[in-house]
Amino acid sequence: MTQNNSTRIAVIGGGVSDEHDVSLASAAAVGRAIVELGFDVVPLTIGNDGAWRDEDGGILPAHGAVELLADCDIAFPALHGVNGEDGAIAGFLELSGVPYVGAPVRAGALGMDKWVTKLIAGSLGIATAKAIVARPGAATVAAPMDLKPPFVIKPATGGSSNGVFVVPDRDDVAATVSRARAFGDPVLVEEYVLGREVDVAVFRDRDGELRLGSTLGIGVAPGGVFDRTQKYDGSAVFTVPAPISDRDEVSIRHAARLLYETLGCSGVARFDFFATAAGVVLNEVNTAPGMTEQSQVPLMYAATGLDYVGLIAALLESAERSPFRNSIPE
């Protein structure tokens, strides 16, 4: 990538969501990579109170944040969860006329809603866990008889496994849905899928080609879920590439490409599946996945020979209206 000491890249972290701290870690890692590339980083943080803050912690009015962003060449949002990953930050940047890395409004909004994702996947012939959706305000919730326990209960727009519960039978569904509502509404009640969790990441490069990382397998005890503690305390066991059959590898990679295109993604997206005895089942889509050096997405691309700094450079180049497009010599 051509280096220019006057090039300024805004990195946005934080956000008004329960993934605030995770986002700060992603933003810090992205910022370090950008410095290593030789560019100036302009850190911006959205506090839990919704206020924009500059690198010194000073509060910026909304117009001040827009002015600072407009003085940058491109923005790299590292926001996870609601009020960011759901298309909110993309819409803000679009209206501000600032080029950015990552998913546009439509892809972010669709990918964030796990129920809508199921409907889209089903229309493409991609299997998902059988489920019902408990809408906000529903007085009572009961799993229908054709939904078999155990159940996974989770917010339809949550992330980082916040508010995800496994319940063994129908008697616990109503109370657990109420608990899950504290993390977001609506809430999904799904059949538990027994299989190996396997993730794969996709981004479209500067030449318009889809680049997939290696598949990554996650070690989870039978009957459990890949929860927030495992994700962030370093205890998660990742295997790259995932130890799956050739059939499942082909199915996962095909489904990830199809979903990326159908949702209208840009930037990098992570697609989470289960490899089961009956075939591949989609779990969820993440259009703004964790981006620390130890996160799943960088590990997937490192296995293909693209290191963390190279991945950040490729994402900067791939952004629509990016000033870096086609700037790396072949």
Going by C-alpha positions, the residue among 266, 277, 212 that lies closest to residue 241 is: 212
Q: What percent of the chain has pLDDT over 70?
A: 90
Are the beta carbons of 317 and 227 closer than 8 angstroms?
no
CB atoms within 10 A of CB 142: 14
Band the pLDDT of 4: cuts 50, 70, 90: low
Q: Which residues contact 311 (CB under 8 A, 6 or more apart)?
A: 33, 268, 297, 298, 301
pLDDT digits over 68-77, tens only? 999 999 999 9
Band the pLDDT of 330: cuts 50, 70, 90: very low
Q: Give the pLDDT of residue 139.
A: 59
pLDDT digits over 154-201, tens only? 999 876 577 899 999 888 898 999 899 888 889 999 999 999 999 999
According to DSSP, residue 148 is labeled P
Q: What percent of the chain has pLDDT over 90?
A: 76
Taking each continuous run of H as one helix and of E as one strand, the counts in the chain are: 10, 15
Residue with tokens 């005890």: 221
Band the pLDDT of 51: cuts 50, 70, 90: very high
Pairing of strands 268-276, 279-286: antiparallel
Residue 203: pLDDT above 80? yes
Residue 107: pLDDT above 80? yes
Segment 219-247 shows an average pLDDT of 71
Residue with tokens 């930037």: 267
Comparison of pLDDT for 126 and 4, the residue scoring more: 126
Q: Which residues contact 140 (CB under 8 A, 6 or more apart)?
A: 174
Q: pLDDT averaged over the chain?
A: 90
Q: Give the pLDDT of residue 161.
A: 72
Q: Cα(144)–Cα(127) distance, rounded to whole angstroms? A: 20
Residue 6: pLDDT above 50? yes
Domains and CATH numbers, the chain: 8-101 (3.40.50.20), 109-127+195-317 (3.30.470.20), 131-191 (3.30.1490.20)
